[in-house]
Amino acid sequence: MAPDIDPSVWETLQEYPFEGNVQELKNIVHYAAVILEGQTVFLHHLPPFVLTPLSPEVKGKKEDHQLTLMEKQEFVFLLEAIKSLNEKGEAASRRILSELSKQGDIPLTPQQVRSRLDDLEKKAYVTKGKGRAGTKITLEGLSFLKSLDGYIPVQ
Give the pLDDT of residue 82. Answer: 94
* Boundaries of every domain in the chain: 4-61, 69-148
Q: What is the amino acid identity at position 21?
A: N
Instruction: Report, at the CATH architecture level, how domain 69-148 is classified.
Output: Orthogonal Bundle (1.10)
Alpha helices in 36-68 (DSSP H): 48-51, 56-61
Per-residue confidence (pLDDT) for residue 77, from 0 to 100: 92
Beta bridge partners of 126: 137
pLDDT tens, N- to C-terminus, the chain (155 residues): 788 998 988 988 888 887 766 778 888 888 888 888 888 988 888 887 787 765 554 444 444 456 677 788 888 899 999 999 999 988 899 999 999 999 988 899 999 999 999 989 988 899 988 767 789 999 888 888 887 665 444 44
| DSSP 8-state secondary structure symbol assigned to residue 131 | G
pTM for this prediction: 0.56
Distances (CA, A) of 97 to 5, 42, 100, 101, 131: 40, 36, 5, 6, 15
So what's the pLDDT on residue 129?
Answer: 80
Domain 4-61: CATH architecture, name and number where available = Orthogonal Bundle (1.10)
Two domains, one topology: 4-61 and 69-148: no
φ, ψ of residue 99 to 5 degrees: the values are -60, -45
Q: Where are the beta strands (DSSP E) in 23-122?
A: 40-41
As to burial, measured by CB atoms within 10 angstroms (0-12 exposed, 13-18 middle, 19+ buried), residue 45 is buried
12-24 b/e with 16+ CB inside 10 Å = b? eeeebeeeeeeee
> How much is the pLDDT for 65?
55
